[in-house]
């Protein structure tokens, strides 16, 4: 069956450390993978997109990797800050912008 999972429901880390979130999927062949941030009571906000032929993408303190063999994406936040505390969602783009599948999210808490 098709499935998309994120490593854990909640992750606590100390300020200044690197947070690493995992997105795993089975029986999908996405062309793209996206990461979003969602704050309580708000809609998701797009962070990064990575294509199937890209291994890594960076944006400021954010880094995303995409391994289509392992069917896994890793999302890193370096030098994490309490303001990074939020739920992070991964999303698979299954048909070039028409059909999306989202993971359940990981709630990240960065402790001061």
Partner 1 sequence: EAQVTQNPRYLITVTGKKLTVTCSQNMNHEYMSWYRQDPGLGLRQIYYSMNVEVTDKGDVPEGYKVSRKEKRNFPLILESPSPNQTSLYFCASSPNFARISTDTQYFGPGTRLTVL
- Which residues in this chain contact partner 1 in the complex, by CB under 8 A? 4, 31-32, 34, 41-46, 49, 51, 89, 91, 93, 96-105
**Alpha-carbon span 2 to 34, nearest angstrom:** 18
**Nearest distance in Å: CB 14, partner 1:** 27
**Alpha-carbon span 68 to 54, nearest angstrom:** 10
Q: Of the two residues 84 and 93, which places its CB atom closer to partner 1 in the complex?
A: 93
Q: Of the two residues 7 and 102, which places its CB atom closer to partner 1 in the complex?
A: 102
**Nearest distance in Å: CB 72, partner 1:** 17
Q: Which long-range contacts (CB under 8 A, 24 or more apart) does 42-45 make?
A: 44/89
């Amino acid at each position: 069956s098709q499935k998309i999972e994120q490593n854990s429901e909640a992750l606590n880390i100390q300020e200044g450390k690197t947070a690493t979130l995992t997105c795993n999927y089975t029986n999908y062949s996405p062309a793209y993978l996206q990461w979003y941030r969602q704050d309580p009571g708000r809609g998701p906000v797009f962070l990064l997109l990575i294509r199937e032929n890209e291994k890594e993408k960076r944006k400021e303190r954010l880094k995303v990797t995409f391994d289509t063999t392992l069917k896994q994406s890793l999302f890193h936040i370096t030098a994490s800050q309490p303001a990074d505390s939020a739920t992070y969602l991964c999303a698979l783009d299954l048909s070039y912008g028409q059909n999306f599948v989202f993971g359940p999210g990981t709630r990240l808490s960065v402790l001061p």
